[in-house]
Amino acid sequence: MAEIVIKNLRKTFGDFTAVRDSSFTIKDGEFFMLLGPSGCGKTTTLRMIAGLELPTSGEIYLDGEEISQQPPSKRDIAFVFQMFALYPHMNVRRNISYPLVSQGMAKADVKAKVAEVANILGINDILDRPVGGLSGGDRQRVALGRAIVRDPKAFMMDEPLGALDAEFREHMAEELRALHDRMNATTVYVTHDQLEAMQMGDKIVVMNNAVVEQFGTPQEIYDKPATMFVADFIGSPSMNFLHFDGQIQKDSARVAMNGATYAVPKQHTDAGGKLVFGVRPEHVRLSDSGGLRAGVLATEYLGTTQIITLDSGNGELKARVDADQPVKVGESVGLDFKPETITLFDAESGAALPSALNEGVVAHG
Ligand code: ATP
């Protein structure tokens, strides 16, 4: 059992706030992603969970026990670093056994444990090789072995695949996820790569500027963004934003935008002023029915689909449509949207307006 509960966690460095009032729960056995752009506070959050950095305020619980101020050695959490920090003068076996030997474990037990870990990782045949000549993947496996061998309650991983090239990265991501599924150990994983987070994570926390913007499953984060930041950061191409001045009443399921009326999910509050109509490219339909019109600026052929760049009076947008739909640059097309996928945002705060679409969404910690 290794559940990690984060409550109002905060970290300041002098006047600078790196993490502001984060709260979320990492359930036992979850592969949990901390996602966000560079400098948003992901690594600082991870380091606080591992005990490498002490919080300025707030609490961290591991299996119900408060560990916020405990040193790393008392936390039973293993940290896997990006640059596969191995001991270059030792062979693979000694690198993996090092944490056990330094704990004073009996020789026979160490041998058995290393054999077990080598089996899990499929590296039996390289145990006696020096780490110096190993491939990137094998070095990564050895680094993981050194973390696994301790049987920690949880693993912390800080961009562990960051140094690998794209193809190999994808392979190692699959391997890591498969390893997690075999061991079922709680894992917290930092990445700035939204695709990696979506592919690997059971849950994702999206951070921006020291703040948790949203917390949920990959599907919730993609389909029900809590803020414009999340909608923009997740997905490629990202969500389209059409800016307009408008009014919408509680319980209404229609919105008027520049004289055109569109069906949207039932809204839970009144709203008005500067609003944003958010729609993902795959939910934009090109049609001849009424509504807004847009000029086709560009088409990009992707095999089964094509991405159409359009210029509407409310801003540029992208549509992902079937590759065989005939669309020509320069022509004018009507815009239609799948109503159940629309998110309306308040332009000033960037927050999604509450509606039937995003009930239960956890935003801002
Ligand atoms: P990256 O992927 O670039 O590391 P990150 O989201 O992991 O981004 P953090 O490393 O957590 O970001 O850093 C958050 C902010 O806190 C950054 O602006 C960073 O410069 C600052 N910071 C981190 N550690 C310290 C420190 N020891 N002293 C002062 N500022 C720090």
Name the pLDDT band for 183 (thresholds 50, 70, 90).
confident
Mean pLDDT calculated for residue range 341-363: 90
Answer yes or no: do 21 and 101 share one domain: yes
Work out how many domains the chain is built from and give that number: 2
Name the pLDDT band for 121 (thresholds 50, 70, 90).
confident
Residue where one domain finishes, among candidates 202, 223, 244: 223
Sheet with 271-279, edge to edge strand ranges? 240-248, 271-279, 343-346
Answer yes or no: do 170 and 235 share one domain: no
Answer yes or no: do 196 and 263 share one domain: no
Answer yes or no: do 105 and 122 share one domain: yes
Answer yes or no: do 212 and 268 share one domain: no
**What's the CA gap between 190 and 365, in Å, rounded?**
17
Higher pLDDT, 297 or 140: 297
Name the pLDDT band for 25 (thresholds 50, 70, 90).
very high
CATH number of the CATH domain containing 319 = 2.40.50.140
Mean pLDDT calculated for residue range 214-218: 95
Question: Which residue's CA lies nearest to atom 27 of ligand 1?
Answer: 13
Q: How high is the pLDDT of residue 362?
A: 66
**What's the CA gap between 315 and 317, in Å, rounded?**
7
Residue 362 within any structural domain of the chain: no
Name the pLDDT band for 1 (thresholds 50, 70, 90).
low
Q: Where are the alpha helices (DSSP H) in the chain?
A: 42-50, 92-102, 107-121, 136-148, 166-183, 194-200, 218-223, 228-233
Residue 363 within any structural domain of the chain: no
Taking only the tens place, the pLDDT of each residue in 246-295 is 999 999 999 999 889 999 999 999 999 999 999 999 999 998 877 899 99
Ligand 1 in reach of 41 Cβ (< 6 A): yes
For the full predicted model, state whether its pTM sits above 0.75: yes
Q: How high is the pLDDT of residue 326?
A: 94
Answer yes or no: do 85 and 167 share one domain: yes
Answer yes or no: do 143 and 287 share one domain: no
Answer yes or no: do 24 and 105 share one domain: yes
CA of 189 to the centre of ligand 1 (A): 16
Residue 262 within any structural domain of the chain: yes
Atom number, ligand 1, closest to the C-alpha of residue 11: 16
CA of 184 to the centre of ligand 1 (A): 29
Residue 70 within any structural domain of the chain: yes
Give percent above pLDDT 70 in the chain.
Answer: 97
Q: Which residue do the tokens 């390893």 mark?
A: 179
Residue 303 within any structural domain of the chain: yes
Cβ neighbours, 10 Å, residue 300? 12
The single-letter DSSP state of residue 74 is: G
Answer yes or no: do 58 and 73 share one domain: yes
Query: Is 365's pLDDT higher than 50?
Result: no
For 328, residues 6+ apart whose C-beta sits below 8 A from its C-beta are 296, 299
Answer yes or no: do 150 and 179 share one domain: yes
Residue where one domain finishes, among candidates 223, 258, 273: 223
Give the tokens for residue 72: 């790393």
Ligand 1 in reach of 36 Cβ (< 6 A): yes
CATH number of the CATH domain containing 111 = 3.40.50.300
Taking only the tens place, the pLDDT of each residue in 30-64 is 999 999 999 999 999 999 999 999 999 999 999 99
Mean pLDDT calculated for residue range 325-346: 95
Answer yes or no: do 78 and 190 share one domain: yes
What's the number of CA atoms in the CB half-sphere (13 Å) around residue 9? Answer: 32
Query: Is 231's pLDDT higher than 50?
Result: yes
Residue 364 within any structural domain of the chain: no
Collapse the DSSP code of 288 into the 3-class scheme (helix H, G, I; strand E, B; otherwise coil) and give the result.
coil
Residue 278 within any structural domain of the chain: yes
Taking only the tens place, the pLDDT of each residue in 77-111 is 988 865 567 888 899 999 999 989 988 999 999 99
**Average confidence score pLDDT of the chain:** 92
Cβ burial of 82 (10 Å; 0-12, 13-18, 19+) is middle
Ligand 1 in reach of 68 Cβ (< 6 A): no
Ligand 1 in reach of 285 Cβ (< 6 A): no
Q: Which domain holds residue 81?
A: 4-223
Give percent above pLDDT 90 in the chain.
Answer: 73
Ligand 1 in reach of 20 Cβ (< 6 A): no
Q: Which residue do the tokens 């991405």 mark?
A: 307
Higher pLDDT, 252 or 360: 252
**What's the CA gap between 111 and 259, in Å, rounded?**
75
Q: Of 3-12, 133-142, 195-204, 348-357, which gets the smallest average pLDDT?
A: 133-142
Q: How high is the pLDDT of residue 364?
A: 58
**What's the CA gap between 289 and 190, in Å, rounded?**
46
Residue 365 within any structural domain of the chain: no
Ligand 1 in reach of 162 Cβ (< 6 A): no
Residue where one domain finishes, among candidates 196, 223, 250: 223
Answer yes or no: do 28 and 115 share one domain: yes
CA of 80 to the centre of ligand 1 (A): 18
The residue type at 322: D
Query: Is 306's pLDDT higher than 90?
Result: yes
Name the pLDDT band for 161 (thresholds 50, 70, 90).
confident
